[in-house]
């Protein structure tokens, strides 16, 4: 009975989310106030009377694109969009005409993940009320997908496009909003942000279920996930209900903040994360950029593998068109899994997109990353990528470094900056072979590039 009731609720929600225009029905993501990706062929789709003809025309062009409604009452077509601008209208004609208003052409991004992406200005972020008060941005459009899971792929969501105002921004992803605001203000074009986030969710629920079930490692680790009443844990159920209905809406890229809920079950995360990125790119039909946040320091339980998640996130940067931001310096309380400074998280993600995707020059956006080590007698020299202008530290001593010999016993280390490198040593280790930095669940190091971006946690060994 409970299952039947859940199905009725799901059907009711989906019916409510489909605007009714007689013979023409549209998914929620195709509607008034939407942003269509500029300079693209974008998909427009919906439902209608089987056998009837659909004609779609954008007010930016005299061209009309036609499609036939199938015997399943479905239709889909693609139209060309110009460079950014608006507002426009979009005419959809069948046995009647539907005109979508206040349509913008610009850049469309998905923001997704768990609670650190979901947290809004209402979640007591830094300077939240002031940010809300100033959130009048007619050229930013927000599409907030409500939380829902499903055993099977769905064709619609409960959401609508809205102009960014203090009222609509207040409950929207703070990271997504600040990311979009930085893009819009720098590029001076319309920006659409689609929020699909659910606090506490493991990455498995965001991946198409067949991709998890067909891989022995992913399937085994998914079977170890804890089940709770307040978030889903079965592979694919959130993908089915919150991602699948958006296909094939054309997007410019995605930003991601997730990983905390996989920390106790981390063995598969490197493969799982790569599978997720490939899955989304394949199903959206677009090799879009994917920028993400390395999870922040937090006092996880003793057996947590949070440091391993961070390492696997860093390793994922070898996937083309990806980028990672480090936020350890934005944490003011390691006993709070939700750092309150979301402004700088959004800005750092935006700087990746502005530099790598949009070609904006002179932005410093890459964190220093471990490159190599070279033993020098009783010391070790560590080299980094992304430190062309040098390194600096806050505080009198550089913290969170450890060093070990062949016995694999780590001791606290002394550190000295030497140009773009550092020297690491300990009087207790005569012949060092390995160095670790911030290699703990809650370690916050104080080593930065001269531009102020924190060095990412690392280890030079691969010991278990």
Please write the tens of the pLDDT for every residue from 55-101: 999 999 999 999 999 999 999 999 999 999 999 999 999 999 999 99
> Quick one: residue 108, left, alpha or beta (phi over 0 = left, psi -120 to 50 = alpha)?
beta
Mean per-residue pLDDT, 201-207: 98
Cis upstream peptide for 86 (omega within 30°): no
Please tell me the predicted confidence (pLDDT) of residue 10.
47
Say which DSSP state 159 is in.
-
How confident is the model over 255-276, as pLDDT tens digits? 999 999 999 999 999 999 999 9
% of the chain residues with pLDDT over 90: 92
Mean per-residue pLDDT, 123-130: 95
Assigned token pair, 400: 């969170």
Q: How far, in Å, CA of 407 to CA of 206, rounded?
A: 41
In this model, does residue 227 exceed pLDDT 50? yes
Mean per-residue pLDDT, 327-342: 96
pTM of structure = 0.94
Mean per-residue pLDDT, 312-325: 98
Task: Note whether 20-101 and 105-357 share their fold.
Answer: no
Nearest-10 crossing angle of helices 343-352, 174-187: 50
Mean per-residue pLDDT, 162-181: 98
Please tell me the predicted confidence (pLDDT) of residue 302.
78
Beta pairing, strands 410-412 & 401-404: antiparallel
Q: How far, in Å, CA of 20 to CA of 12, rounded?
A: 14
Please tell me the predicted confidence (pLDDT) of residue 226.
86
Residue 11 — pLDDT band, cuts 50, 70, 90?
very low
Q: Give the E-state strand segments of 124-237 in sequence order.
A: 137-144, 161-164, 191-197
Residue 15 — pLDDT band, cuts 50, 70, 90?
very low
Which residues fall within 8 angstroms of residue 319, CB to CB, at 6 or more apart?
274, 277, 290
**Considering Cα of 128, then 133, then 138, then 142, what sign does the dihedral take?**
positive
Please tell me the predicted confidence (pLDDT) of residue 313.
98
Domain 105-357, CATH among 3.40.50.1110, 3.40.50.1820, 3.20.20.80, 3.30.450.20: 3.40.50.1110
Please tell me the predicted confidence (pLDDT) of residue 253.
98
In this model, does residue 20 exceed pLDDT 60? no
Please tell me the predicted confidence (pLDDT) of residue 230.
86
Cis upstream peptide for 248 (omega within 30°): yes
Please tell me the predicted confidence (pLDDT) of residue 28.
98
Please tell me the predicted confidence (pLDDT) of residue 12.
43
Assigned token pair, 261: 């809920």
Residues, the chain = 464
Give the start-to-end residue ranges of the domains of the chain: 20-101, 105-357, 369-459
Mean per-residue pLDDT, 237-265: 97
Q: How far, in Å, CA of 102 to CA of 90, rounded?
A: 9
In this model, does residue 215 exceed pLDDT 70? yes
Please tell me the predicted confidence (pLDDT) of residue 1.
39
Residue 196 — pLDDT band, cuts 50, 70, 90?
very high
In this model, does residue 4 exceed pLDDT 90? no
| Average pLDDT score over the chain | 94
Residue 258 main-chain phi, psi, to 5 deg: -160, 160
The CATH architecture annotation of domain 20-101 reads Sandwich (2.60)
Mean per-residue pLDDT, 30-38: 98
């Amino acid at each position: 009975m409970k299952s039947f009731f859940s199905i009725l609720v799901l059907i009711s929600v989906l019916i409510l989310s489909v605007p009714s225009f007689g013979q023409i029905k549209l998914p929620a993501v195709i509607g008034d106030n939407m942003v269509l990706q500029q300079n693209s062929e974008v998909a427009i789709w919906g439902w209608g009377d089987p056998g009837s003809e659909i004609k779609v025309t954008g007010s930016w062009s005299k061209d009309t694109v036609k499609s036939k409604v199938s015997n399943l009452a479905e239709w889909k077509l693609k139209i060309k969009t110009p460079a950014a601008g608006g507002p426009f209208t979009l005419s959809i004609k069948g046995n009647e005409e539907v005109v979508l208003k206040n349509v913008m052409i610009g850049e469309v991004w998905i923001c997704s993940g768990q609670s650190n992406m979901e947290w809004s200005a209402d979640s007591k972020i830094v300077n939240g009320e002031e940010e809300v008060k100033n959130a009048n941005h007619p050229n930013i459009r927000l599409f907030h997908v409500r939380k829902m899971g499903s055993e099977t792929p769905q064709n619609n969501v409960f959401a609508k496009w809205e102009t960014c105002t203090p009222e609509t921004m207040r409950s929207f992803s703070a990271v997504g909003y600040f990311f979009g605001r930085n893009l819009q203000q720098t590029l001076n074009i319309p920006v659409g942000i689609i929020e699909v986030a659910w606090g506490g969710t493991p990455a498995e629920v965001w991946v198409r279920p067949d991709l998890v079930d067909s891989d022995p490692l992913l399937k085994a680790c998914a079977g170890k996930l804890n089940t709770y009443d307040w978030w889903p844990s079965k592979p694919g159920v959130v993908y089915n209900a919150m991602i699948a209905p958006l296909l094939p809406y054309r997007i410019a890229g995605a930003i991601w903040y997730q990983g905390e809920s996989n920390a106790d079950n981390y063995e598969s995360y490197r493969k799982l994360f790569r599978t997720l990125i490939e899955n989304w790119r394949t199903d959206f039909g677009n090799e879009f950029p994917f920028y993400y946040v390395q999870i922040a320091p937090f006092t996880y339980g003793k057996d947590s593998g949070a440091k391993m998640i961070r390492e696997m996130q860093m390793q994922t940067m070898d996937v083309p068109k990806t980028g990672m931001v480090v936020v350890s310096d934005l944490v003011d309380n390691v006993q709070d899994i939700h750092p309150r400074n979301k402004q700088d998280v959004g800005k750092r993600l935006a700087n990746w997109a502005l530099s790598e995707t949009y070609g904006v020059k002179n932005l410093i956006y890459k964190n220093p990353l471990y490159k190599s080590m070279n033993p020098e007698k009783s010391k070790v020299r560590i080299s980094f990528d992304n430190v062309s202008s040098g390194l600096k530290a806050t505080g009198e001593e550089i913290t969170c470094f450890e060093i070990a010999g062949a016995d694999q016993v780590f001791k606290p280390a002394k550190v000295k900056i030497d140009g773009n490198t550092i020297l690491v040593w300990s009087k207790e280790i005569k012949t060092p072979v390995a160095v670790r930095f911030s290699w703990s669940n809650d370690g916050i190091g104080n080593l930065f590039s001269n531009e102020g971006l924190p060095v990412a946690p690392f280890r030079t060994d691969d010991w278990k």
